[in-house]
Every structure is written in structure tokens, then in C-alpha cells.
């Protein structure tokens, strides 16, 4: 028997990776580094306004000029802007107005939108058809709200509802109605019809089926719709600016009041921005698991 001419690899010596494998690994690391860089830039772009508002809310007026970005390093923080904020009665009234307006508008939009969504999902309409009804609801978010300011202002003047919390509540509920309709229509369609048919065989009424079977199955969608309506109603500026004078002014209107005759009041803008963003942010964090589940269940399948 002749010895093999194939060279044997020395024991204990690991094989070296090929050049193609090394290039593939390098491209993978380069792609990962690029993705991390993009994510980092997006985080900075998103979170920097909050950081600016925070440091502006703990600065003295003289510290607003210059590169003072690090507390206790480049400037001495203070809580005086926050004490001044809570000392303004108009700010406290604006927070109460925004809370009443947003909670009321979200609740009204959810009640009406849930009924409309169930009707579109379970019944067939002909004039107009179901698709046309859905498009009509969606058009309320597509059209710019500024074109409705003048007619709504004239209507509220006739009804003596100018500078009224109820007027803003109804306006915000009207323009946020598409959120529960669009989200819940798809979720109602995903509920098996056999469940409702079985309940009808057992003698349940349509209202009982809706309340005891359909609503519990779309609970995440109800929470998502309510939070979205709450957030959009809380942040609404145009109607709050045009339809109010003093008694019913919401907090977004006061956010635009930081420009004074002596310049921009950075402390007022920072504190008011954080105060205005805190309510919808806390509400979203408390129901985060419902939001994720509701958005995933309500996704339209291709």
C-alpha cells in the first residue's frame, strides 16, 4: 500500500477561514454598525427636544445663552421655573380644560365609533355601500382642519358656544372619530361569525351579542382607539386657538405663548412642553401592552 499523497492537517491546528467568509463577516459587521448608527441618530433626533425642554426648565434666565448643556457642570440647575409654572392660575385652568376636553372627546368618539365600526363590519349597506362609509369616515382625517374653522366658528357663534369646553369636546370627537372606526372595523371582521350565530340560536339579542361577545374580544382595540383619540385631542391647537378666548383655553395654546416682548421665555416653553407631553405619555405607558396587542390585531391583512 502506498502512502497517500494528500497532505494531512496537523493535529490541534484550527482551519483558517476562507477569504470569502472573512469578507462576508466584514460586510455583516459593517451593516450592523450602519444600522446602529442610524438608530442612534434617530434616537437623538427624537429625544433631543425633550432633553432641551428639560434642561431649559431647570435653568436660570442667564444660563440660556452659551453652550450650557450639562447640569451641575456648565450651569447650576434650579426648580424656580417649575414653581413659577404652578403659580400661574391660567396654566392650572388650561390643564383642567385639556383633561376634560381630551377625555370627553375620546370617550364620545369611542362610543360612536364602536357602534359605527360594528355596523360596517356586520351589516351590508347599499346606499352608500360599506366601503364608501369607511372612506367618508377616513376623509375627516385627510381633509385639513383649517378649512372647517370658519363654518364651525359661525355655528358656535349662533349656538353661543364660543369659548366653551363642550364645543372643543364635540369638535375633537368629530375629527378623531375615524380612529375607532378604522381600527375596530377590521377587528370586528376578524371575530368568527359562528360565535354570534351560536349566541343567536341560544336566544341572545343583537345588543347582548354586541356587549357580551364582540366588545370583550376587541378590548385591546378599544384601548388603542381611546388612547389615540385622547392624544390627538390633547395636542389639538387650531380649534383651541380659534374657538376660545380665555375660559376654555387648552394647554397647547399656552405653549405658543412663550414669545414675549422681551424675547423668548425658554423656561416657560420648557416647563409647559414637558407638562403637556406628560399626560398622553403616562397614559400610553400604563396601557402599553394593550396598545401593542391592539395595533397588531387590527392590522389589515394583505
Per residue in 194-214, pLDDT (tens digit) is 888 888 888 888 888 888 889
Write out the residue range of the structural domain in which residue 256 sits.
88-297
CATH for 210: 1.10.3720.10
Q: Is residue 279 part of a domain?
A: yes
Average pLDDT for 154-172: 92
In 3D, which of 245, 95, 97 has the Cα closest to residue 166? 97
Confidence bin at 134 (pLDDT 50/70/90)? confident
pTM of the model: 0.78
Phi, psi of 166 (to 5 degrees): -65, -35
Q: Is residue 201 part of a domain?
A: yes
Overall domain count for the chain:
1
Q: Is residue 21 part of a domain?
A: no
Q: Is residue 247 part of a domain?
A: yes
Q: Is residue 112 part of a domain?
A: yes
pLDDT (tens digit, 9 = 90+) per residue, 63-104? 877 788 888 888 888 888 888 888 888 888 989 999 999 999
Confidence bin at 1 (pLDDT 50/70/90)? very low
Average pLDDT for 278-293: 77
Q: Is residue 264 part of a domain?
A: yes
pLDDT (tens digit, 9 = 90+) per residue, 238-252? 999 999 888 888 988
Q: How far is CA 93 from CA 145, 246, 272, 278, in A?
A: 25, 10, 13, 16
Q: How far is CA 54 from CA 71, 76, 83, 131, 270, in A?
A: 10, 14, 14, 46, 6
Q: Is residue 267 part of a domain?
A: yes
Q: Is residue 156 part of a domain?
A: yes
Amino acid at each position: 500500500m502506498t502512502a497517500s499523497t494528500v497532505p494531512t492537517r496537523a493535529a490541534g491546528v484550527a482551519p483558517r477561514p476562507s477569504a470569502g467568509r472573512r469578507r462576508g463577516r466584514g460586510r455583516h459587521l459593517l451593516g450592523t454598525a450602519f444600522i446602529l448608527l442610524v438608530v442612534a441618530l434617530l434616537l437623538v433626533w427624537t429625544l433631543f427636544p425633550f432633553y432641551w425642554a428639560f434642561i431649559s426648565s431647570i435653568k436660570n434666565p442667564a444660563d440660556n445663552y452659551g453652550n450650557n448643556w450639562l447640569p451641575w457642570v456648565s450651569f447650576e440647575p434650579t426648580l424656580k421655573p417649575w414653581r413659577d409654572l404652578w403659580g400661574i392660575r391660567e396654566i392650572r385652568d388650561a390643564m383642567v380644560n385639556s383633561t376634560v376636553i381630551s377625555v370627553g372627546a375620546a370617550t364620545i368618539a369611542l362610543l360612536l365609533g364602536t357602534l359605527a365600526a360594528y355596523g360596517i363590519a356586520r351589516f351590508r349597506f347599499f346606499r352608500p355601500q360599506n366601503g364608501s362609509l369607511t372612506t367618508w369616515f377616513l376623509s375627516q382625517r385627510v381633509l385639513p382642519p383649517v378649512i372647517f374653522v370658519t363654518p364651525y366658528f359661525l355655528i358656535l357663534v349662533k349656538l353661543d358656544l364660543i369659548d366653551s369646553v363642550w364645543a372643543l369636546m364635540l369638535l375633537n370627537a368629530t375629527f378623531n372619530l375615524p380612529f375607532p372606526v378604522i381600527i375596530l372595523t377590521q377587528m370586528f371582521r376578524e371575530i368568527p361569525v359562528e360565535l354570534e350565530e351560536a349566541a343567536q340560536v341560544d336566544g341572545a339579542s343583537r345588543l347582548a351579542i354586541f356587549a357580551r361577545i364582540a366588545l370583550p374580544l376587541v378590548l385591546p382595540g378599544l384601548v388603542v382607539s381611546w388612547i389615540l383619540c385622547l392624544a390627538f385631542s390633547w395636542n389639538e391647537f387650531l380649534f383651541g386657538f380659534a374657538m376660545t378666548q380665555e375660559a376654555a383655553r387648552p394647554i397647547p395654546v399656552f405653549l405658543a405663548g412663550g414669545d414675549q416682548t422681551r424675547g423668548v421665555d425658554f423656561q416657560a416653553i420648557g416647563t409647559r412642553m414637558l407638562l403637556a407631553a406628560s399626560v398622553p405619555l403616562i397614559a400610553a405607558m400604563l396601557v402599553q401592552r394593550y396598545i401593542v396587542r391592539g395595533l397588531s390585531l387590527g392590522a389589515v391583512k394583505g
